[in-house]
Amino acid sequence: MSPMSSPIVALFLTFFLLLSAADAFNITKILGSFSDYSTFNDLLTQTGVASEINDKKSVTVLVVSNSQISGLSSQPKDTIKKMLSIHVVLDYYDKAKVDKVPSKPLTLTTLYQQSGKAQNQQGFLTMTRVGKQVSFGSAAPGSSHDSIFVKQVTTQPYDISVLEISNVINVAITSSPSYAPNASPPRKALAPGPNKSPLASPPKTTRSDIPAADAPSTTTDSDAPDNTSAASIASASAILFIFASACFMLTMI
């Protein structure tokens, strides 16, 4: 490399760094100028969502004031990160664009959609005009749409826009495996059979129900002695004995 090329390279690198610095933004520093969003800003840093926002080229952050985000602060860290990611729209919307939103809902892609964990449209928002107000809500079925656009906080056209909304955007929890990975399906109760009560005594076992191998050995009628025939023979013998004795006595007279 010739000696004269070094200043040229240094100048080029300086220009490149200045250009990059001009285009970059830092959401933590931006929100640091607004004390009303200090809780939101702290949660962005704690969950790592702030660094993800700073890596984007064009983004809109929907912030909530300290008084409206206290309930989210008590949730598990994973839940907080998910909810904050839903408040980051991967497109640029300032007040001028919001004022032009039609009554037909617009679908917005959020940072949570890029995580690969979103299901049932949880990674998308809808923005809709209702009268003079513009509302934001989750595109997931069953979600409420009661987060109202309040004001534009600050912008760096067309890189980042910070808009305040009235409250945290709620996402309906649907019945999917992602929410209950270890849950087992409920078992159906077995209904008692016909003419049987759950508390009824078990049916008595008859001799015919016992298997031949387990049933006790019994004597059939053909094998048992005929007691009736034996009694008849004894009675006849007694009668013949009496008759013979009487005849003998008559011959002696």
Chain center to CA of 28: 33
Better-predicted residue by pLDDT, 253 or 124: 124
The pLDDT value recorded for residue 246 is 59
Q: Residues of the chain with pLDDT > 70: what percent?
A: 58
pLDDT mean over 158-164: 97
pLDDT mean over 213-228: 41
In sequence order, what are the residues at sequence separation of 6 or more whose Cβ sits closer than 8 angstroms to the Cβ of residue 223? Answer: none
Q: How many other CB atoms sit within 10 Å of the CB of residue 69?
A: 22
Kindly report whether the global pTM for this prediction surpasses the value 0.85. Answer: no
With b meaning 16 or more CB within 10 Å and e meaning fewer, what string describes 10-29? eeeeeeeeeeeeeeebebee
Sign of CA dihedral 141, 143, 147, 153: negative
Q: What is the Cα–Cα distance from 146 to 125, expressed in whole angstroms?
A: 12
Better-predicted residue by pLDDT, 89 or 193: 89
The pLDDT value recorded for residue 249 is 61
Roughly what angle, to the nearest 10 degrees, separates helices 66-73 and 77-86?
A: 140
- Kindly report, residue by residue over 173-199, the tens digit of the pLDDT: 543 333 333 333 333 444 444 444 444
Instruction: Name the residue ranges covered by the structural domains of the chain.
Output: 18-165
**Cis peptide bond upstream of 158, omega within 30:** yes
Specify the CATH number for 18-165; select among 3.30.565.10, 2.60.40.3500, 2.30.180.10, 2.60.40.1930: 2.30.180.10
